[in-house]
A and B are shown apart, each in its own frame.
Chain A
Amino acid sequence: MKKTRLQLMLCGGSGCQATGSQLFHDALEKELKRIRLDREIKIIETGCNGFCAVGPVMLVQPEGIFYQKLSPEDVPELVEEHFLKGRPVKRLQYVEPASKETIPNMNDIPFFAHQKFRVMRNKGMIDPEIIDEYIARDGYFGAAKALTQISPEQIIAEMKASGLRGRGGAGFPTGLKWEFAAKSAGDIKYVLCNADEGDPGAFMDRSILEADPHAVLEGMIIAARAINANKGYIYCRTEYPLALHRLDIAIRQAREYGLLGQNILESGFDFDIEVYQGAGAFVCGEETALMRSIEGKRGMPRPRPPFPANKGLWEKPTVLNNVETLANIPQIILNGGEWFAGIGTETSKGTKVFALTGAVNNIGLVEVPMGVTLRKMIFDIGGGIPKKRKFKAVQLGGPSGGCIPEQCLDTPIDYEEIAKVGAIMGSGGVIVMDEKTCMVDMARFFLDFIQDESCGKCTPCREGTRRLLEIIERICQGNGVFEDIETLERLSVVIKNSSLCGLGQTAPNPVLSTLRYFKDEYIAHIVDKECPAKRCTALLKFKIDSDKCKKCGLCYKACPASAIIWQKKEVAEINREKCIECMSCFEACPFDAIE
């Protein structure tokens, strides 16, 4: 790649595409051509940069200037001022929410500065649709080493030394998993990549696939060599069209370069990869269900043993790894297991990518070394809670996970430590909740999800979660009784202990963790018939507190049903007959005057 004076790393990930990066790209390209700067300045369309919430984003290299919220109208000024006259455009730069200071350089923005990029080292740095750019950053060197310099046993030894644990949720040591499959007898074996990313509120895997698809392919090649498999599948959810598109391109280019197919790098080793699209079933993220689904059947889990390492896809020995797990592997092989284990805690090594979302100022993807505290992630990287509201809880691990309250925020990110406080590391979804989130309603939300997604094969999960949901719904409706709390706890234990797969076994976690830390909210719903966060509509009065009302009229403007009576300098009032209970006014009122 010939170096130009400036490289404009414009994000073309699915987040930024939604906020209009394509229109900006077209306008910028046209303008650069018009003033004949297009030879000097090159636009490179990258994958997700991680900071989707302020998209479209662009990094100007080699200067490191970061621009956000770009639109086609900004193009003339940007080109004239920055690219011609060398004066970066301040108004398009990041402003620190607390200090209101403008920060021009990406590496100085706290959101990026506290991160450590290993899995995401190429994000925003390369065009993911050009294999040469990946290779230029040491891409496929790990595979080359694994295929031509070291033995499969040595690969597994490095993996075990690294301490890498599966990033898909369960945290099983990857080296050990490969060793089982390598020892399993059989000429036909498979390597699968789990790109189903079912946790609703997580997008780490999507971003890795969009920004650096070759890293995942390379990880699969190394895994295949270690266990001696010749065929791989990537099971990717159908909701990720851009990731699917980039995988197709990456696989095609890898084949052209002889990195997939027969006799890879003249090593005598054959391996090829096919992409398989999911069809919208959460349970298919579970390993045995995923394999059933690739076989073209209903994706229902089956009991283990036999484990996939012995009998997996089409009854053959199979290794399944998550996208992020696989993206870690090339660097482990290249730099050694010990290098990888150089950061992290006693039992959790390396880094972890999280999708930080919800009630937090800086929303996006963050990669941090294991051992960093949740507080640091939410307040230093995430910039704290917006709208001057108070932090209430952070949810980790999605529908299988739990909520962690303020008093546990100094918990380090570590598989065991997080489990101790009642959540799980999970795949990396981190949802921050403020005082406006009702914890009973959150438990209801996750149960509703689980109830929807339970495959129905076993009774404790199918019927038990339905019972849990009924009870919680009753509590949210204001019809709960005190004994419900005990029933919830008792039933949860039964479901945990007698469900067949991980979905059922972890389904009660959101209930148990909210009961553990927020029992007072349950009691408020049951005894006082009140929802402290004002989320459960059945418990709201739809009345305006005239003492709290500051007569601003914002509720009046927000109401779609003309149900609010308001005039300048007068207290607002709700006409219950017209009100459709849509909650818009609650969100609109800055003074918390509606109850």
Chain B
Amino acid sequence: MPTSMQLTHPDISSEMIPKIDAVIAAHQKTSGAAIPVLRLCQDIVGYLPVELIDYISAGLNLPRSEVFGVVTFYSLFSLTPRGRHTIKACLGTACYVKGIREIMNRISSEYHLKEGETSEDRRFTLEAVRCLGACGLAPVVVVDQDTHGGVTPSQVKPLLEQYV
């Protein structure tokens, strides 16, 4: 147990806690560990509740303000719960020139979802990302781990309906 602090939060299950502890323990002695620890803990929980950030600060023996500063600086970290599926629409230059804006418009109008938002039923989170390195397939939409290239507006609905 890295600290005497108790970690309780509705989104953090009892199975997650030992995993979180293991991540913190493995990084306790390395300098510059905040970013990898936050990333790994976010992978476990799905996002970073404030209680978890406090727990990590205590575990790594870092000032709370510093860890919060890191969380808010990097776009990878999310302080709010996310949908079951994450839609990443690429807003890189190649995808922009190839019409990602029309795709975004279509996603927004079909699912009443704006950039950066999670749908009320927590089905989808829509994120804009800057280049996924798959520019050859532009415009690119990534849903969870699946990359979809050459997407057209009319493909949006059939594509997203696969994710329930």
Seen from chain A, the residues whose Cβ lies within 8 Å of a Cβ on chain B are: 14-15, 17-19, 51-53, 55, 197-203, 206, 238-240, 276-277, 279-282, 293-299, 314, 355, 357-359, 363-365, 395, 398, 429, 431, 433, 437, 445-446, 449, 453, 455, 558, 560-561, 580, 582-584, 587
Set of chain A residues within 8 Å of B32, measured between Cβ atoms: 294-297
List, sorted by A's number, 15 A–B pairs whose CB atoms are closer than 8 Å.
A19-B137, A197-B131, A199-B131, A200-B94, A201-B94, A203-B131, A203-B133, A279-B75, A280-B129, A298-B73, A358-B97, A359-B97, A363-B138, A398-B93, A584-B106
Most buried by A among B33, B35, B99: B35
Question: Of A298, A364, A431, A580, which one neighbours B70 at CB under 8 angstroms?
Answer: A298
Count of residues in B whose CB is under 8 Å from the partner chain: 48
How far, in angstroms, from A496 to B76 measured CA to CA in the complex? 29
B137 engages A202 (CB within 8 Å) = no
How far, in angstroms, from A364 to B149 measured CA to CA in the complex? 14
Least CB distance, B160 to chain A, in whole angstroms: 13
Closest chain A residue, CB of each to CB of B154: A558
Set of chain B residues within 8 Å of A560, measured between Cβ atoms: 106, 109-110, 153-154
A17 engages B147 (CB within 8 Å) = yes
Least CB distance, A367 to chain B, in whole angstroms: 15
Asked, given contacts A200-B131, A560-B106, whether A357 binds B94 with beta carbons under 8 Å apart, the answer is: yes
Asked, given contacts A18-B147, A200-B92, A295-B31, whether A583 binds B101 with beta carbons under 8 Å apart, the answer is: yes
B136 engages A363 (CB within 8 Å) = yes
B137 engages A395 (CB within 8 Å) = no
| CB of B23 within 8 Å of the partner chain | no
How far, in angstroms, from A365 to B133 measured CA to CA in the complex? 11
B96 engages A445 (CB within 8 Å) = yes
Set of chain A residues within 8 Å of B20, measured between Cβ atoms: none
Closest chain B residue, CB of each to CB of A395: B93
Seen from chain B, the residues whose Cβ lies within 8 Å of a Cβ on chain A are: 31-36, 38-39, 66, 69-70, 73-77, 91-99, 101-102, 105-106, 109-110, 129-138, 140, 146-149, 153-154
Set of chain A residues within 8 Å of B134, measured between Cβ atoms: 14-15, 18, 52, 203
How far, in angstroms, from A299 to B105 measured CA to CA in the complex? 32
A429 engages B35 (CB within 8 Å) = no
How far, in angstroms, from A19 to B146 measured CA to CA in the complex? 10
Closest chain A residue, CB of each to CB of B102: A583
Question: Of B70, B101, B130, B154, which one neighbours A200 at CB under 8 angstroms?
Answer: B130
How far, in angstroms, from A116 to B109 measured CA to CA in the complex? 46
Set of chain B residues within 8 Å of A277, measured between Cβ atoms: 35-36, 39
Least CB distance, A478 to chain B, in whole angstroms: 18
B92 engages A279 (CB within 8 Å) = no
Question: Of A52, A293, A431, which one neighbours B93 at CB under 8 angstroms?
Answer: A431
Least CB distance, B69 to chain A, in whole angstroms: 5
Question: Of B97, B101, B109, which one neighbours A433 at CB under 8 angstroms?
Answer: B97
Set of chain B residues within 8 Å of A433, measured between Cβ atoms: 97
Question: Of B74, B136, B153, which one neighbours A582 at CB under 8 angstroms?
Answer: B153
A201 engages B102 (CB within 8 Å) = no
A296 engages B34 (CB within 8 Å) = yes
B97 engages A239 (CB within 8 Å) = no
Q: Which 9 A-B pairs have the closest CB atoms?
A: A52-B136, A296-B32, A200-B92, A201-B93, A18-B147, A279-B74, A200-B131, A357-B94, A280-B75
Closest chain A residue, CB of each to CB of B97: A358
A296 engages B35 (CB within 8 Å) = yes
Asked, given contacts A52-B137, A277-B36, A296-B33, whether A582 binds B106 with beta carbons under 8 Å apart, the answer is: yes
A584 engages B153 (CB within 8 Å) = yes
Set of chain B residues within 8 Å of A200, measured between Cβ atoms: 91-94, 130-131
How far, in angstroms, from A131 to B149 measured CA to CA in the complex? 31
